[in-house]
């Protein structure tokens, strides 16, 4: 089986991530049962890293 364009059709119809119950983002992995955004299913506290603060400061150009 090839790895290119024809193989991309096999990926349709499956949902890897669904909406998270805790944060509401579309980041809850249905098979792993964990949220990539808030850490639900893995930790009781919200997922937070110090390097995240740099991304969302007012002086940053990479603001999302």
Instruction: Tell which residue, 49, 52, 17, has the closest CA to residue 35.
Output: 17
Which of 39, 34, 2, 43 is CA-nearest to residue 16?
34
Reading the chain (64 residues) residue by residue, the pLDDT tens digits are 578 888 888 888 889 999 999 999 999 999 999 999 999 999 999 999 888 887 767 665 555 5
Instruction: Please tell me the predicted confidence (pLDDT) of residue 63.
Output: 52
User: 40, 25 in Cβ contact below 8 A?
Assistant: no
What stretch of H or E contains 35? Answer: strand 34-35
Q: pTM (2 decimals)? A: 0.69
User: Would you list the domain boundaries of the chain?
Assistant: 14-55
3-state SS class at 34? strand
> Three-state SS for 17?
strand
The CATH number given to 14-55 is: 2.20.25.30
């Amino acid at each position: 089986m090839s790895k290119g364009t024809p193989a991309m059709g096999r990926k349709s119809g499956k949902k890897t991530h669904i909406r998270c119950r805790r944060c509401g983002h579309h980041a809850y992995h249905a098979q792993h049962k964990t949220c990539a955004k808030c850490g639900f299913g893995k930790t009781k506290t919200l997922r937070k890293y110090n390097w995240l603060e740099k991304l969302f400061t007012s002086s940053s150009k990479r603001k999302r």
